[in-house]
Chain A
Amino acid sequence: MVEEAPQKKPRVGLFVTCLVDLFRPSVGFAAIRLLEQAGCTVEVPEAQTCCGQPAYNSGDFADTKDIARNTIRAFEGFDYVVAPSGSCAGMLREHYAELFKEDAEWGPRAHHVGHRTYELVSFLVDVMGMKGVEAHFDGTVTYHDSCSGLRELGVKQQPRSLLGSVEGLKLKELPGAETCCGFGGTFCIKYPDISDRMVSDKADDIVKTGAETLLAGDLGCLLNMAGKLKRRGEKVQVRHVAEVLAGMTDQPAIGEPGRGS
């Protein structure tokens, strides 16, 4: 027997998330680059759409289960499942198991996949032991802690530690970084007044930091905050944290004009 087998490259299934797939593919490619830098092989199963949160949070558990079964089938062969979103990773990790907890067949399968699922940045730091990235970004950024990643998965220090290694980047903490931005999936559409107040308060805080760029790890929150900042005519650029960490900031920032891919 060999004493120490050379560590095999972990096989990661990338859960792209529906919003990244539709709105911002560059985040998916940034995730792949980061995962490969960390020493993983990455695959993207075709049979994925969305994690099912819109149905789940609307109380439609039957459709959620159908969607979840698809996701589980698509990802159960991987060593890890990684998503560039705390909210979707939390859905796979915490809520799939809850959904199928009384199901003898799907319960264990949901558990199997859930336990291997991570939010991108926490995976890089906590599982792959990444200490820093080789990226360069000129400017002052501020960071919003998206709710699910923060509270369901404990994503807090990881993005800050990796951002700390980006050459040229200065991080300015956002007051109230842990307060919800008012996105909340269908909440922002069902209760636009309330959501507006929440995202307006958030925009005030962001602008007050004086940072040129706002980063976060969830595209839902980012679209919401960018949408508000742009409506108010603010100069702040908005990006997913993975783009900066991967050094892939050639695409226009969220809500900015320019050639699409």
Chain B
Amino acid sequence: MQPTSHSFKENAHTALHDERLQRALGNMRAGFQDKRRAAIDKLPEFEALRDQGRDIKNHTLAHLDYYLERFERRVTENGGHVHWARTPQEAREKILEICRSVEAKTVTKGKSMIAEEIALNDFLEESGIEPIETDLGEYIIQIRKEPPSHIIAPAVHLNQSDVEESFRKIHTDLPADRPLSEPRQLLDEARAKLRNRFIKADVGITGANFLIAETGSTVIVTNEGNGDLTQTLPRIHIVLASLEKTVPTLEDAATIMRLLARSATGQEMSVYTTFSTGPRRPEDLDGPEQFHVVLLDNGRSAMLGTEFQEMLRCIRCSACMNHCPVYSVVGGHAYGWVYPGPMGAVLTPTLVGVEEAGHLPNASTFCGRCESVCPMRIPLPKMMRHWRKREYERKLSPAPYRSGLALWAFFAKRPALYQRLTGIAMKLLGRFGRDKGRFRSLPLAGGWTSVRDMPAPQGRTFQELYREKKGAA
């Protein structure tokens, strides 16, 4: 996926004026927030669980090399293969090589953000292999040729009628008068369409929510069961995952899973949780003949030991975006890349560069709601601020903004001078603003007054009045 994060402002502008999108976002907001709240109210130990989750990941990240090697060893012992990919290119080529080894024409895919990160679909298509998304949401955006706008609900920006329209356009062999106004009917149609392709595919590619070092297992959680079919029917199962998905033990994975579904959708557990441990054994009834894990780094290891290390705790639950006031008015596409919302505002600049994605950590009010809901206690605003610091140090922020800030700081550091100056300025502003109590426009305040009035100051500054009073007393 080609990032368009540099045009965040324009993307956001378009989104704000897209009425259908706004309606969809409005529904999303209430749904996710209420469900999370209800699920958490039922679990008194949720806060303690968050501490545990954070500690598990911190420990793993501090010894990541050890756990990765352990994971690799266990996968190999189970009869699988681990492939290390430093870059998206390496990961794509490895996957292609595996597909070619069985002359695959189509591959089925379970939902995977990493696949989006390395733009796998386009690459496979260019190489003559047809990728078929099996998650309903992913399937919908695939046929619409759109990127996902949300991590757990890739098509959350669409309404039922958008989906109906797309299905009628693509599934032209079906009767034109079939009813498609209910979500269930849409699901059934997608199922029927996908079923054959599940069976025909030689390779199934899934992501992973966890890589368990102790057992060499990979875990995916889904709500549709499509992940199971993707990984059990084809001859080859490829798991594509990034390094930081590792946890030491099964129990650790179970602990974090309790946080994941509650934070994401307000469920106690996702409907399907699937563990894959190596290829089919002789006594197994089904399962793939080959089991491959492609481990992608793509900048993760470079985050270790930096101020962004804590971001590697992220479990992609999307609670942060579900509660973000900015995400909930602009939607995921505005962020211009795979990862939207607050987690994207931290992660995207590390993966595509702050030159491309500098807007994202800036487009936050630091209201702190993301951090307050993040099950892994990731200090998202603090890390966005670190991006702003790097931008500032590298002089990437706009020049007028920087000089305005410098001027303000000059005075803010000199209280006596500051008070003399502001005393005069406020007296003037107060006098001009008194009649109306506010300004409809003010020089140098266009960003403010383009959308709201500027309340007039009362007139004299507090410091002046206070000193006067004290002098009189």
Contact = CB atoms under 8 A, between A and B. Distances in A.
Contact of B458 (A23, A56, A148): A23
A38 to B, nearest CB: 19
A195 B12 contact: no
B465 A261 contact: yes
Given A63-B409, A179-B325, A187-B364, A28 B415 contact: no
Interface string A39-59: 000001011111010111111
A16 B463 contact: yes
B352 interface: no
Contacts of B455: 23, 223, 226-227, 230, 254-255
B391 A59 contact: yes
A197 interface: yes
Given A16-B462, A227-B438, A227-B453, A193 B365 contact: no
A196 B260 CA distance: 33
B366 A59 contact: no
Chain B interface mostly: helix
B448 A188 contact: yes
A197 B329 contact: yes
Given A52-B412, A251-B458, A255-B456, A184 B364 contact: yes
B454 interface: yes
B451 A46 contact: no
Given A23-B455, A67-B409, A151-B372, A260 B12 contact: no
B86 interface: no
B369 interface: yes
Interface stretch (B93-101, B271-279, B341-349, B429-437): B429-437
A255 B437 contact: yes
Contact of A25 (B329, B368, B461): B461
A8 interface: no
A183 B13 CA distance: 18
A153 B463 CA distance: 26
Interface string A62-78: 01001100100000000
Interface string A166-193: 0000000000001110111111111111
A259 interface: yes
Given A61-B389, A257-B437, A260-B457, A55 B366 contact: no
Interface in B365-389: 365-369, 371-372, 382, 385, 387-389
B466 A197 contact: no
Interface in B424-473: 426, 430-431, 434-438, 440, 445, 447-448, 450-463, 465-467
A143 B471 CA distance: 36
A70 B415 contact: yes
B85 to A, nearest CB: 33
Interface in B391-438: 391-393, 397, 401, 405-406, 408-409, 411-413, 415-416, 418-419, 422, 426, 430-431, 434-438
Contacts of B408: 54-55
A205 interface: no
Nearest to A51: B412
B422 A22 contact: yes
A179 B325 CA distance: 7
A115 to B, nearest CB: 20
A153 B437 CA distance: 32
A231 interface: yes
Contacts of B448: 188-189, 192, 227
Contacts of B454: 223, 227
Contacts of B409: 55, 60, 63, 66-67
A158 interface: no
Interface in B6-63: 9, 12-13, 16
B362 interface: yes
A194 B12 contact: yes
B405 A57 contact: no
A57 B457 contact: no
B352 to A, nearest CB: 19
A20 interface: yes
A228 B380 CA distance: 29
Given A151-B369, A257-B437, A67 B451 contact: no
Given A67-B409, A231-B452, A256 B437 contact: yes
A23 B439 CA distance: 13
A87 B412 CA distance: 17
Interface in A219-261: 223-224, 226-228, 230-231, 251-252, 254-261
A198 interface: yes
Contact of B453 (A23, A25, A251, A255): A255
B326 interface: yes
A198 B434 contact: no
A228 B369 contact: no
B363 A257 contact: no
B9 A191 contact: yes
A188 B438 CA distance: 18
A36 B332 CA distance: 50
Contact of B388 (A58, A67, A198, A256): A58
A70 B411 CA distance: 12
A49 B415 contact: yes
A44 B362 CA distance: 34
A21 interface: yes
B197 interface: no
Contacts of B456: 255, 260
8 closest cross-chain pairs (CB), A and B = A184-B365, A260-B459, A59-B388, A189-B447, A59-B392, A227-B452, A25-B462, A180-B367
29 contacts: A20-B462, A25-B461, A25-B466, A49-B415, A54-B408, A58-B397, A58-B401, A59-B387, A59-B388, A67-B409, A67-B413, A147-B366, A147-B368, A151-B372, A187-B366, A189-B447, A193-B9, A193-B451, A198-B325, A199-B451, A227-B454, A231-B440, A231-B453, A252-B437, A255-B453, A259-B434, A260-B431, A261-B460, A261-B465
Interface of B: 9, 12-13, 16, 325-326, 329-330, 362-369, 371-372, 382, 385, 387-393, 397, 401, 405-406, 408-409, 411-413, 415-416, 418-419, 422, 426, 430-431, 434-438, 440, 445, 447-448, 450-463, 465-467
Given A179-B369, A231-B440, 10 more contacts: A16-B462, A16-B463, A22-B457, A28-B466, A55-B408, A55-B409, A61-B392, A148-B366, A188-B448, A194-B326
